[in-house]
Structure 1
Amino acid sequence: MPFTALGLLVLGVVLAEPVSRAFSRASWPRRDPVGALLMWQAIGLAGGLSLIGSGLVFGLSPLGANLAEAVPVLVREWSVARWPAGLDVVHFAALAVAVIVGGRLLWVLTTVSLRTLRARRRHRDLLDVLATPWPDSPGTRVLDHPLPVAYCLPGRSSRLVVSAGVLEALEPEGVWAVLAHERAHLRERHDLVVLPFVAWGATAPFVRGMVCAQLAVAALIEMRADDVAACRSEPNQLVGALRTVGGSAPAAALTSFTDALDARIERISSHPAALSRPRRVLVRLGAIALVAVPTVLLLAP
């Protein structure tokens, strides 16, 4: 078990830092956003399993040859208020760190989820009062504001919102492109895709790789929504809609927002060739294998 713990620790550190940083700079994800999102989820899950699992495996190594043997021993000894033989200070410290990190991650994930749900509920209540249903698009509400703004509010009672400024500034084709983009976010639940990376970033903000992952995933879900919208509208209509809605950001907006918008527009205009089918399959198999490695190491006898 000590060698398994060392292997898990190395894998977790490599995935959290050099792999995450390098992957965030790769160029191929813009040609396959769905595959890249699957790979990011695999990196996050495999990294979490490896880092937390390494502490569990090393901490429990004196109690058995694997976790299946060690965990029952620990439970049995502690159930009778007895300290397990062989569990010294070093192994207990490793076990405690793993439990604390795992608990911290779950706590942050739960807290962020509850906070987000409360904010969405308040926002939804305000929209029901201030916005009016749009007959031309069921499920869409119009906010009486001159600034061109469009967004979605995900959840079981989702809302898709456009401002009066969008309807005035865009032709009907541009409006449908905007709606298709936002509906893609709602249908594919991109909010749930981002949430684990937000939790990881809040748990370990000092790990630069986690910040890179969060930014990369946010960019990829926008690319994916752009691809869906581009299938339902002309590229020039989508580009014009993005310029109109994105250009309405306040003057104090960060330069990174403008850079990201310009990158999306350039991608739509240049029509990058999608990855070949064999490469797409290879990416998905790679994501499955990446999660399988720490899982096997943790569960193998």
Structure 2
Amino acid sequence: MEVTALVLLVLGVLLAEPVSRGLAAAHWPSRDPVGGLLLWQAVGLAGGLSLLGSGIVFGLAPFGSSLPAAVTGVAGAIRTGTWPPGFDLLHGAALVVALLIGLRLVGVLGTVTVRTLRARARHRDLLDLLGTPWPAAPHARVLDHPLPVAYCLPGLRSRLVVSAGVLDTLDPAQVRAVLAHENAHLKERHDLVVLPFVAWGATAPFVRGMVCAQVAVAALVEMRADDVAANRAAPAELTAALGSMGHATPAAALSSFTTALDRRLARIADPPAPLPAAVQLGVRLAAVALVAVPTALLLVP
């Protein structure tokens, strides 16, 4: 099991740093945002499994030749009070480190989730109090504000928000394009895609690859929403609408606007050629394989 632990550790470090940095710098995800998001999720899940699993596998190595056998061995040792002679301080320390990393990750994810949900709930209550329901779109609210701003507030009771400035500044086709973009965020639950990477980056902000992952995933969900909107509205209307909008949005909201807006507008106006079907299939298979490898190393004797 020590060799398995070493392989898992190397895989986890590679995914957290050079692989994440390389994928964040790659240009092909802009040609297949869905595939890029799937691969990012696989990198995050496989990296977490590998880093946590390496410590657990090494720590439990004296109890069995595989993780399932070792878990059974630990249960037997607890019942009998007899510990294998190979279980020493180093193995115990590996288990403690793995436990601390796991608690840190779960704690940060829980904290970020609770903070985000509370911010959304407060903002939703304010919207219902101050906003005017808009019959043109379900769960939409119009805020009496002169600046053109649009965003969505995801969740079980989602809200789509536009300011009066949007309705005054944009023509109906441009308004529909903006709504299509924001509805894509809501329907595909991009907030759930982004949230784990926010937690991942906050868990170890000193690991540059994790920070790069958070930024890259945020950009890809915007590209995906752009693609959905461009399929439902004229690209020229979408670019004109996005270019006219304001950039200020509240905490916990998902917005159409990022610091990379100029690059997004250029991408909408001149869409890159999609990846060949065989390459898209390969990306999805690679995502499955990334998760399958650490899982197999953990479970297969």
TM-score interval, smaller chain = over 0.9
CA 1:246–1:32: 2 relative to 1, 3 Å: farther
Q: Does residue 113 of structure 2 align to residue 127 of structure 1?
A: no
2:163 is matched with which residue? Answer: 163
- Helix, strand or coil for the counterpart of 1:94? helix
Contact 1:74 1:84 in 2 (8 A): no
How far apart, CA to CA, are the structure 1 residues paired with 2:83 and 2:101?
Answer: 23
How far apart, CA to CA, are the structure 2 residues paired with 1:39 and 1:191?
Answer: 17
How far apart, CA to CA, are the structure 2 residues paired with 1:267 and 1:139?
Answer: 30
Contact 2:62 2:84 in 1 (8 A): no
1:45 is matched with which residue? Answer: 45
- AA aligned to 2:99 is V
- Helix, strand or coil for the counterpart of 1:162? strand
Q: Does residue 23 of structure 2 align to residue 18 of structure 1?
A: no
Deviation at 1:80, TM superposition (A): 5.7
Offset from partner CA, 1:176-226 (integer Å, 9 cap, x none): 000000000000000000111111111111100000000000000000000
How far apart, CA to CA, are the structure 2 residues paired with 1:214 and 1:248?
Answer: 20
Deviation at 1:137, TM superposition (A): 2.1
Offset from partner CA, 1:147-201 (integer Å, 9 cap, x none): 1110111111000000000111100000000000000000000000011111111
Deviation at 1:20, TM superposition (A): 0.5
Deviation at 1:79, TM superposition (A): 4.9
Deviation at 1:86, TM superposition (A): 2.3
CA 1:4–1:280: 2 relative to 1, 3 Å: same
2:254 is matched with which residue? Answer: none
Deviation at 1:76, TM superposition (A): 3.2
Q: Could you tell me the TM-score, scaled by structure 2's length?
A: 0.94
CA 1:178–1:64: 2 relative to 1, 3 Å: same
Number of corresponding residues:
294
Please, which moves more after superposition, 73-82 or 280-289?
Answer: 73-82
1:150 is matched with which residue? Answer: 150
How far apart, CA to CA, are the structure 2 residues paired with 1:13 and 1:137?
Answer: 46
How far apart, CA to CA, are the structure 1 residues paired with 2:135 and 2:180?
Answer: 16
Q: Does residue 182 of structure 2 align to residue 179 of structure 1?
A: no
Deviation at 1:16, TM superposition (A): 0.5
- Helix, strand or coil for the counterpart of 1:151? strand
Instruction: Return 5+ residue gaps in structure 1 as ranges.
Output: 250-256
After the TM superposition, which segments of 4 or more aligned residues of structure 1 sit over 4 Å from their partners? 79-84, 246-249
Q: Does residue 286 of structure 2 align to residue 282 of structure 1?
A: no
How far apart, CA to CA, are the structure 1 residues paired with 2:261 and 2:35?
Answer: 21
